Amino acid sequence: MGMTITEKILADHAGKKEVVAGELIMAKVDLCLANDVTAPIAIKEFEKTGLNKVFDNERIALVPDHFTPNKDINSAEQAKLLRDFARKYNIKHYFEVGEMGVEHALLPEKGIVLPGDLVIGADSHTCTYGALGAFATGVGSSDIAACYMTGEAWFKVPESMKFVIKGKKRPFVYGKDIILYIIGRIGVDGALYRAMEFTGEAIKDLSMDSRFSITNMAIEAGGKNGIIPADEVTISYVKERATRDFKIYQSDKDAKYVFEMEIDLKDVEPQVAFPHLPENTRPVSMAGNVTIDQVVIGSCTNGRMEDMRVAAKILKGRKVAPYVRLIIIPATQQIYRDCIKEGLTEIFLDAGAAVSTPTCGPCLGGHMGILAKGERAIATTNRNFVGRMGHPESEVYLSNPAVAAASAVLGRIGSPEELGIKGE
């Protein structure tokens, strides 16, 4: 019996010729990462051991991105724990404010995560790196502490699901819409502890930025990981960034899948996920007259350069609707810099947006955009649970950057076509 790409990566890192779904394994980790919310717990547990070194100071990443720049004393103390740990153990991949970005955009950009890697992170959206053809999954802080000691982690090999994407995408449809469409069909527990493998002819036409959006939200369907086999687009992205060697894996033709779904992009409109679950999706054409108070464009899902360019195309020469707040957050310092170089930042400011330094802030209801009771936001983030962005009686709607930017101008959820803008 053949193996899926997920099974092959796990087998190699466990030193085994093959693995099967349901098998428990110990595997070597290429990179373990944590942020200012989750790393402090791991650090405290590690320090209890009395060890005077980590397993490999070049295989650990610490990115303070959730409550940074620090919003209060408690968050400053959390960030200081990371800084002191990084200094004590000479952690190579530590990124201070001014250098950091949203972790799941920053690490691929820096070439720290590569195809074929096995990555664990104390953040549920670690599955993002599957867009590179890596196995990447979120774990608890105690697992990160153990990895600091041993460089290993245990796994139950997940069953695999295959999503075959075909056809030509419609105007203003991006990776975000594809994954929202899938989650809308299978539900938030439709891939529970399973690998979601995305393949098909249409994947080849997607940018890396769109691919990152797809795998980023695998966890929103309950997935253990999301993964896209590496191709020419992947290699082109990593070849100038890679800091070490990497290995390309592909699924065998006779690999076993517990579920297969085919999606024709001609059927996929830009999607909007209504409160209070990512599965509550509908086409933007069926959104109705939903007025909004705030728009957030950014996050580990949609804060990359493609997202910034899409938003700028919609906002150029237009103004944000009265009484609507538009917050734009480039996901990394490089993206921030490129926005300035390309004139996008000026477009954003002319439209009436606030442009922030990289942070996860509003996505998790941390800072930089908290909602009051009764307020509604449309955001390019990944979760719209009750109280996710602020008051439990506020509402969050999820969309791609084109729909979010158009909504900011309209003052209600709507599409770029309503502004007379034609898609590519």
Residue 295: which CATH number? 3.30.499.10
pLDDT in tens, 191-243: 999 999 999 999 999 999 999 999 999 999 999 999 999 999 999 999 989 98
Residues 95 and 236 in one domain: yes
Pairing between β-strand 152-156 and β-strand 24-28 as defined by DSSP bridges: antiparallel
Q: What's the whole-number mean pLDDT along residues 345-365?
A: 95
Of 245, 263, 281, the residue at which a domain comes to its end is 263
Kindly state whether residue 84 falls inside one of the protein's structural domains: yes
Kindly state whether residue 424 falls inside one of the protein's structural domains: no
Residues 59 and 205 in one domain: yes
What is the pLDDT, as a whole number, of residue 422?
80
pLDDT in tens, 378-400: 999 999 999 999 999 999 999 99
How many structural domains is the chain composed of?
A: 2
Range of the domain at 374: 271-419
pTM comes to: 0.94
Residues 255 and 328 in one domain: no
Check pLDDT > 70 for residue 365: yes
Kindly state whether residue 302 falls inside one of the protein's structural domains: yes
**What percent of the chain lies above the pLDDT cut of 70?**
100
Residues 27 and 175 in one domain: yes
**What percent of the chain lies above the pLDDT cut of 90?**
94
Check pLDDT > 80 for residue 340: yes
Residues 245 and 292 in one domain: no
Residues 14 and 135 in one domain: yes
Residues 393 and 280 in one domain: yes
The Cα–Cα gap between 61 and 247 comes to: 21
Q: Specify whether the CB–CB gap between 318 and 287 falls below 8 A.
A: no
Check pLDDT > 80 for residue 38: yes
Residues 192 and 275 in one domain: no
Kindly state whether residue 323 falls inside one of the protein's structural domains: yes
Q: Specify whether the CB–CB gap between 65 and 359 falls below 8 A.
A: yes
- CA distances (Å), origin 409, targets 5, 49, 303, 413: 43, 55, 19, 9
pLDDT in tens, 133-178: 999 999 999 999 999 999 999 999 999 999 999 999 999 999 999 9
Check pLDDT > 70 for residue 424: no
pLDDT in tens, 276-332: 999 999 999 999 899 999 999 999 999 999 999 999 999 999 999 999 999 999 999
Check pLDDT > 80 for residue 1: no
Residues 311 and 234 in one domain: no
Q: What's the whole-number mean pLDDT along residues 359-368?
A: 90
Collapsing DSSP to helix, strand or coil, 26 comes out as: strand
Q: Rounded mean pLDDT of the chain?
A: 95
Q: What is the DSSP letter of 33?
A: E
Residues 106 and 56 in one domain: yes
